[in-house]
Amino acid sequence: MGLEDYRQKRKFGRTPEPAGEAGSGEGNRFVVQRHQASHLHYDFRLEMEGVLRSWAVPKGVPDMPGVRRLAVQTEDHPVDYIDFAGTIPEGEYGAGTVEIWDKGTFRLDKETAAQLEFSLEGERLSGAYVLIHTDGKNWLLLKRKEKPQ
Ligand code: MN
């Protein structure tokens, strides 16, 4: 996707968000940002291919297996966004407050066109997860049952 959508939606100079650049693509970090915008949601982002692939999860990332959460894919964000917390002013895209809810690293276990399996190691979240593409921008985010070693 690249960062064109990200940049077109924002007026840098008015929003404190980073304009950013695509990165090297070698990172394996993730972040969950609690975003109190017009509707509270949690932005889940995985560092992949030099950007943060991003999903808005209205009910938050599940911490137990069996709970399915809608995750709506949003525009790729620059890798710098991983450290962003602050207030986006009234009238700007995504107006509201952003807090870092969790961060850490992930391991990509399997990727197909319709599914992304990964394992998280964060401060709050850990274990095996899967994102399943359903249609359009809609995905389901679930915690997988741990396989016995
Ligand atoms: Mn958001």
- pLDDT tens, 73-125? 999 999 999 999 999 999 999 999 999 999 999 999 999 999 999 999 999 99
- Any idea which residue has 């401060």 for tokens? 123
What local confidence, expressed as pLDDT, does residue 29 receive? 97
Cα–Cα distance, 48 to 9 (Å, whole number): 21
Q: What confidence tens digit (pLDDT) does each residue in 51-67 have? A: 999 999 999 999 999 89
Q: How many angstroms is it from 115 CA to the middle of ligand 1? A: 22
- Any idea which residue has 């679930």 for tokens? 142
Q: How many angstroms is it from 125 CA to the middle of ligand 1? A: 19
Centroid of chain to Cα 88: 18
pLDDT: which is higher, 57 or 21: 57
Average pLDDT, rounded, for the chain: 94
- List CB-based neighbours of ion ligand 1 within 5 Å: 35, 43
81 SS3 class:
helix
CB 78 within 8 A of CB 52: yes
Q: How many angstroms is it from 95 CA to the middle of ligand 1? A: 9
Q: How many angstroms is it from 146 CA to the middle of ligand 1? A: 29
Cα–Cα distance, 5 to 75 (Å, whole number): 6
